[in-house]
Amino acid sequence: MFSKTCEYGLRAVMYIAQNSLTNTKVSLVAIAEEIDSPAAFTAKILQQLSKAAIIDSTKGPYGGFLIEKAALKEITLANIVAVLDGDKVYNGCGLGLKQCDDEFPCPVHNQFLKVRTELKNMLENTNLHELAIGIDSGLTWLKRN
């Protein structure tokens, strides 16, 4: 449903958010390792997210990536998806057909509308703070050791 870029971006932001709970900056290398993504690919994704003010980037020996604590409650998954994938997750055919709409629906059109509506609701109502708390407490995880 999401592009590979978006999947890695969501994971990266969640990892940064978890570390941001304690104001800990994380390096590109640490992020790439934690989310099992190539470092160069991760760097491009993080650059997009930084430009969009989703994450803060500091260069230098004490640099790294961080999200301000107050922003953790404001940034939703929908914000991240919008930067990396645009609105394609909310539009288009569930089967990938070029011609599919309410007037000429594909076989899964109506069922896919329900799924897409629920997905949009979840993305818009899930913030980074709640996800970071879940990861930090051990209730959820990004990578099993």
For 138, phi then psi, to 5°, come to: 90, 5
Q: What is the largest CA-CA distance in the chain?
A: 58
Q: What is the pLDDT of residue 94?
A: 84
The residues, ordered by sequence, that sit 6+ positions from 129 with a Cβ below 8 Å of its Cβ are: 17, 72, 73
65 alpha carbon, distance to own chain's centre: 15
pLDDT in tens, 9-68: 999 999 999 999 999 999 999 999 999 999 999 999 999 999 999 999 999 888 999 999
Paired tokens of 136: 């930090």
pLDDT in tens, 76-124: 999 999 999 998 888 878 888 988 989 999 999 999 989 999 999 999 9
- pLDDT-derived band at 145 (thresholds 50, 70, 90) equals low
